[in-house]
Chains A and B, each alone.
Chain A
Amino acid sequence: MDFKPSPERQILFDTLKKYFENEYSLSDRNIAAHSDLGYSKKAWEAMRDLGILESLIDPELDGFGGTALDISTVFEALGRGLVVEPFLEVGILAAKVLSKGNEAQKSLVKKILENECLPILAHSEADTEYSKSFVETKLSVEAGGSYKISGTKRMIKHASEATHFLVTCRNTGDAFSKEGISIACIPTDREGIKINSFATIDGGRVSDLTFTNVSISSEELVGELGMSYSIVSHAIDTGILAICSEALGIMERIKELTLEYLKTRKQFGVPIGKFQAIQHRMAQLLVEIEQARSSVINATIYFDDETEREKTISAAKFSIGKIGTLVAEESIQLHGGMGMTWEYDLGHYAKRLVLIDHEFGDEDFHLQKYISL
């Protein structure tokens, strides 16, 4: 038994960690994250040069990674750095979907690596509906074998600069049916697309996208007509593994920041970490974070096991949701007023950690899913 990452992955993690510590300043990150674009193009390009995207993508598509362990290792490092650039949206969600497409679509993955395109998956529709199969956007078949799609996609992150949308839509079945889901890969300047974008609490922009009778050719479908649920499902499961790992990196960083504060902040003449009331809260956080890490390891181990994947992914997302919120709230409390300030790093980590619970299903959703599986 050995839980250590391979030497190659450890080197990758250490390199990224060091890079973020030295080159990715949180104050610059916060300015970019809350700008109109929602991230820094300069930082995006600098990080691409490090090979982060390649490490998320299979060798057959010109990457050098892409396994569950690669993804988990990289996203833990991205979490430590509180990186806001679109690695999840482009490197995981879009790339996983496109890798199941035709040759032209697969070549878009290679173009991602060459910085020639920025495809974004446009899937989620209702704010409180986390089901992976929930799609109401309509796909209608036109004379001559072409299609039109109409509907609204909500809370699509980093959509405003996208070159392509990967739009899920259905031609049959009710809104929750796994049957009848298709994916269309279309350029974002296609007629009939409207974008409304919003600032976010944790950084990065989100958009609501409205599609009105947008024309699609049959070559633009990813996978077979009505048969693409499994592609979306797998991409989202990979996304869940990625953000659970990101949350681990955030929690480790929060632990460091909080411990440092407890050792330096003095009240009543002693560091506040000398008080047992504080020590026990911090010890409890450590115990919980170890359990969170175990849940992600478990999900990583079973990720390629078709029968166990969804159950262990839901167990991990539940654990991360529950523990993440606890860690965020407790660390702010332990920092007192300092935890409330914009200037100090902690609050920015805490915000991202809490909001991760709102992505791909929260703790309640995944607990119910775990029960149903």
Chain B
Amino acid sequence: MNLNFTKEQENFQIEVRSFLNDNLEPQVVEKVKNGIPITKEDSERWHQKLNEKGWLAGTWPKQYGGQEWDVVEKFIFEEECGSAGAPRIVPFGVGMLAPVLMKFGSQEQRDYWLPRMLTGEDWWCQGYSEPGSGSDLASLKTSAVRDGDYYIVNGQKTWTTFAQHANMIFCLVRTSNEGKPQEGISFILIDMNSPGIEVRPIITLDGSHEVNEIFFSDVKVPVKNLVGEENKGWTYAKYLLTHERTGNANVAVSKRKIQKLKKLADDAKKNEQPLSYDPMFASRLAQIEIDLQNLEITNLRTLASVENGEAPGAESSIIKILGSEIEQDIDNLTRKSLGKRAFVNEPDALSTGYNGAEVFPKAAAYASGKYFNHRKKSIYAGSNEIQKNIISKLMLNL
């Protein structure tokens, strides 16, 4: 057993830390640490800084402008970003579509779309879920019918994160009704400015606007925007989902949130003592800390097995379940630690330029909102029940 980073890995960690220290904008970090949404412009500025350093798409091959990071380097980079309160890299282009294009796209598609992801010319969103197709994704109905050099797309996508910012969407569409549902799905790239596309916001229970529904009415899509072969899209979609589910441990972010929660509990009072001395509270907190410490090792074990050439398989499902539940536990306890102050919902109080009444403690401004917003974590990217189906099938062989 050897759990140490190599000298090179340690040096890389130092380099990442000092880059973050020199380049993060304090007001953006403040937003991230308080859990409020950052703007499109905040993301774009951060992406640009990372791109200048060559780190926007660190895992990409060098020929496309990446660094060919291995899993450990990717882990180090993400953990340091998590600790520092850096904005998350918006994953839809560089993290999700790019691996599909590299593996299944044409050379022309790679040469055209990949550089534009790095420069920020395109903001991608993901067209997977439909109103009738959530966990049962293969039942999707949005149709693409070939008409000369175009597909004509009709249907509806939903839960589309940041569609309001996007100029491009990668979509799963039905191109055949023959055979099994999985065998008639294709993967195409659609310009969001095409005539016939309408984006409507979905406001989530906390009042925020992250997701949308998208309506397609006779939208013309050039045939050259088909990725790979017609009716093979399910294979590409599954490949993409395995990328979506890695890096869900969020250990550094959860550690940072626990530190913040401890501070809150030191300042709050119960029975005339700091809340942190309350045995019930201390017990809840300690259990989360131990779960997180265990997850940190579980996650490193998975990384080590990938590093040593063993496929991660369904281990990423274990990490997804644990990572989402632990983060939800922290949000839950944070809400509880605020007592009556948890009624407050003033997310704007955390933004620069807010001039309403001061919220105290500041964390109360969006703690309950965040708690409700983060119920999504056990639902998205394959609900935790779907993850258990995957574990049953791939690891337990049931």
Contact = CB atoms under 8 A, between A and B. Distances in A.
Interface of A: 1-6, 69, 259, 262-263, 271, 273-274, 276, 278-280, 282-284, 286-287, 290-295, 297-298, 300-301, 315, 318-319, 367-368, 370-371
B295 A294 contact: yes
Interface stretch (B23-31, B54-62, B283-291): B283-291
A283 B297 CA distance: 19
B300 A298 contact: no
Interface in B303-318: 303-305, 307-308, 318
Contacts of A294: 294-298, 301
Interface string B1-45: 111110000000000000000000000000000000000000000
Given A279-B388, A287-B318, A298-B297, A1 B307 contact: yes
A191 B16 CA distance: 69
Interface in B250-303: 282-283, 286-287, 289-291, 293-298, 300-301, 303
Contact of B290 (A280, A287, A295): A295
B72 A1 contact: yes
B1 A315 contact: no
B308 A279 contact: no
Secondary structure of the B contact surface, majority rule = helix
Contacts of B300: 1, 3
A276 B389 contact: yes
B303 A1 contact: yes
Contact of A286 (B290, B307, B385, B395): B395
A291 B304 contact: no
B318 A259 contact: no
B152 interface: no
Given A280-B388, A291-B322, 20 more contacts: A1-B4, A1-B72, A2-B308, A3-B1, A3-B305, A6-B1, A259-B396, A273-B398, A274-B398, A279-B396, A282-B392, A283-B392, A283-B396, A294-B296, A294-B297, A315-B293, A319-B290, A367-B286, A368-B283, A370-B289
Interface size class of chain B, counting residues whose CB lies under 8 Å from the partner chain: 35 or more
Contact of B385 (A280, A297, A319): A280
A2 B293 contact: no
B3 A284 contact: no
Contacts of B301: 3, 290, 294, 297
A286 B282 contact: no
Given A1-B72, A291-B294, A291-B295, A370 B286 contact: yes
B321 interface: yes
B379 interface: no
21 contacts: A1-B304, A3-B301, A4-B1, A4-B308, A5-B1, A69-B1, A259-B396, A259-B398, A274-B398, A279-B396, A280-B388, A283-B391, A286-B395, A287-B318, A287-B322, A291-B322, A297-B1, A318-B287, A319-B294, A367-B290, A371-B282
